[in-house]
Amino acid sequence: MLSSSFFIRSLVYGKKRIDFRSNTGKALAHRGGGHKRNYYIVDYKQSTWHIPALVLSLKYDPNRNARLALVSYPNGLVSYIIAPLGICPGSTLYSGFDSRLSIGSRFYLWQIPLGTRIFNVELTPGVGGLFARAAGTFSIILRKTKTYVVVRLPSKELKMLPLTALATVGQVSNMSTQFTNLGKAGSSRWIGKRPVVRGVAKNPVDHPHGGGEGKTSGGRPSVTPWGIITKGKPTRNKSKQSLKTVLRFRNGLTNLHSYIYKK
């Protein structure tokens, strides 16, 4: 098998430095610098079916905490996919109607049995996986109906997904990433994290909590440097169409606007 340092030139390009700015051009707080990175083009769709995929190597990706797997198909196609937990170089992944349920295989949600762990789950068929892509995460299929499948996401949210949405069987690799200890301040700077200063230690021009004489506590609720409340204020857009597919939110509350209550 190939070395973990081997990569496909056509699937990797230098990531452009945007100086950690938002889509409006404003600089993001506590972010900047960091080591140069390459960006690996990941195949979230995995739409090559009925052809076995041979795992050539497992790859570290600086842009995500999960590992990537370089897979090769008999027709000459090569791609990077999110590596499932439990595979190694030399493993074979197969997706299709005639394949058996195995780790790394990709199926429609209606094909996967209840209680199965899945990841890289699609929200809209054909778009590519959106849910459960971080290291160690997985979703679970809870129940099925004639029109949708209820899936529990890693956030404990229950969501209704189409029967024809695709998902990969298994769990995302590198589940021990939560125990990573950076060890020193320089390691944080390498990944683009800058020092964090308390708002009450700043001047009034720099933060809403700033200013005052002595050790004052700010005199207002906890907010961001731009005045947005940070403790308990809902930030989810109520007008989004995808909100109607939520059965139960991550805080345990039932969504009264979901389709199940309109039928």
**Per the structure, how many domains does the chain have?**
1
The per-residue pLDDT for 165 is 94
Report the distance separating Cα 249 and Cα 236, nearest Å.
Answer: 11
- Residue 254 included in any domain: yes
The per-residue pLDDT for 258 is 64
Selection from 80, 62, 174 nearest residue 93 by Cα: 80
Report the distance separating Cα 142 and Cα 15, nearest Å.
Answer: 39
Structural domain range at position 158 = 9-175+236-261
C-alpha separations of 226 from 134, 185, 204, 209 in Å: 29, 27, 12, 11
Pick out the chain residues at pLDDT < 50. 260-263
Dump pLDDT digits (tens) for 170-193.
999 999 999 999 999 999 999 999
Q: Give the tokens for residue 92.
A: 């074979």
- Residue 47 included in any domain: yes
Q: Give the tokens for residue 204.
A: 């009034």
Fill in the DSSP letter of residue 184: S
* Region of residue 43 (left: phi > 0; alpha: psi -120 to 50; beta: else): beta
The per-residue pLDDT for 257 is 64
- Residue 208 included in any domain: no
Query: Which CATH number covers residue 164?
Result: 2.30.30.30
The per-residue pLDDT for 96 is 77
- Residue 144 included in any domain: yes
- Residue 183 included in any domain: no
In 45-55, which positions are buried (b, 16+ CB within 10 angstroms) versus exposed (e)?
bbebeeeebbb
- Residue 227 included in any domain: no
